[in-house]
Amino acid sequence: MPERRTVALVTLGCARNEVDSEELAGRLEADGWALVEDAENADVAVVNTCGFVEAAKKDSVDALLEANDLKGHGRTQAVVAVGCMAERYGKELAEALPEADGVLGFDDYADISNRLQTILSGGSVEAHTPRDRRKLLPISPAERQDAGAEVALPGHAPVDLPEGVAPASGPRAPLRRRLGASPVASVKLASGCDRRCSFCAIPSFRGSFISRRPSDVLGETRWLAEQGVKEIMLVSENNTSYGKDLGDIRLLESLLPELAAVDGIERVRVSYLQPAEMRPGLIDVLTSTEKVAPYFDLSFQHSAPGVLRAMRRFGDTDRFLELLDTIRTKAPQAGVRSNFIVGFPGETEADVAELERFLTGARLDAIGVFGYSDEDGTEAATYDDKLDQDVVDERLARVARLAEELTSQRAEERVGERVEVLVEAVDDEEGALGRAAHQAPETDGQIRFADSAPGDGLEIGRMVVAKVVGTEGVDLVAEQCEVVEASGRPHGAGEGTVR
């Protein structure tokens, strides 16, 4: 019997890419490939690249070159680029990086096994010529669902429905294979984006916004729960738009309670929310539904009105603070995070001061600050009033220092709170580590349990009630109070109440 072909998936970038990698893994395993964790043990190393900003693109190129270095020194015979950078640049990337044996776009995903086999056998797969994927779907969201069946949508692979099984019954396997054992997993709500932020190129290579069917989201969540997942994080380019192309812009409000009711799921988290699209009903569901984290990943980007208009965005400092006040009135311990761009073309010192005013009043749990840089194909790249790089760097350092100080202060405010913590790791040196409802994986802080020891109930995947007793920067130190039982849990509005 011939030895099975082996493949390793190396994933860079955001949680959406992680879902795409697991779909690719599911397709490859179904076609007989053996999945291995390390590229050096694989016949083919598939690097799922990120193409968002220059730093991410550099990381993707470095990962491809690192995988290429394995060729001739072990099992690795081929290195293949997939993901956003591969989709965005296609032939250009293939020509600039001959070390990659293949550059595959989203349209190649459905036939990924044959593509890799061709490359592994010494053949070549021609890299695609990039196209604006916004033009592949109708302008009207209501007309996209039927057309979407003809467009490659990574992470939208349908849930396998056995013959005769009704869409709403029982867990079913999606075309997905988990690549880790974390008790947390992301689930795609949608792909693409209809917004036209002047600094962002994502819609051009991810396409227009298209939602997944609620039955597929539910089916995938049930399957993940069977795999031992305790928390799901709903991801897309813009979760507040979910359902608009299905004829119901409030579909997320009805879907969240259904997801939270899935047996085995202890927490549902929603990422990436647009402030301008926040609805009172959505805020109510996010702050009052059992097992739904009162967590708000709000894409503010800036707070000075002039800068926001140049970004093709909406809002200002006072409106943003009013939104946060509305949220915290309903859930005082709600978690809030956001990202900001400084040094945008035309930004003045007064604009930076306005941003600092917002940050000081916002009490955010996590803040990402980035210096502006031109992105290929974006409107902002054509603006004339660019700032000198040293000005951008100075403002980035200044706002980042303020952000670090403010998030540390916010962490200190949480000392004394009782929080529900999902245990995600148990380390011999650091003890048990986990996250509360106000902390998302990867991007936010974490909780370390003081004096944790074997046998104290702090097992990976366990939800426990804890009291915050100290801080370590944005991270919290807590003491365990009790283990949360899967059934009969009490519920209150917001973190800080035992739920």
Q: Which residues are annotated as a binding site for [4Fe-4S] cluster?
A: 14, 50, 84, 193, 197, 200
Q: Rounded to an integer, what distance in angstroms lies between the CA atom of residue 254 and that of residue 173?
A: 23
Residue 231 carries which DSSP code? E
State the residue for tokens 């795609």: 188
**One-letter amino acid of 418:** R
State the residue for tokens 């990402």: 368
Would you list the DSSP string of 276-326? Answer: GG--HHHHHHHHHSTTB--EEEB--B---HHHHHHTT----HHHHHHHHHH
Contact call for residues 279 and 248 (beta carbons, < 8 A): no
Angle, CA 14 vertex, CA 86 and CA 368 arms, to 5°:
125
The pair of three-digit structure tokens given for residue 150, joined into one six-digit string: 């003809």
- As a whole number of Å, the CA-based R_g of the chain is 23
SS3 219: helix
E runs forming strands in 292-417: 295-297, 335-342, 366-371
Pairing of strands 78-82, 102-103: parallel
SS3 264: coil
Q: Between the CA of residue 250 and those of 209, 244, 298, 326, 329, what are the distances in Å?
A: 16, 8, 18, 19, 22
Contact call for residues 276 and 315 (beta carbons, < 8 A): yes
Residues 6+ apart with CB under 8 A from 385: 345, 346
- Residue closest to 221 by CA, chosen among 444, 213, 294: 213
Residues 6+ apart with CB under 8 A from 207: 133, 134, 136, 137, 151, 153, 191, 192
- Feature table: binding site: 14, 50, 84, 193, 197, 200
The torsion angle over the Cα atoms of residues 387, 388, 393 and 399, rounded to 10 degrees, is: -30
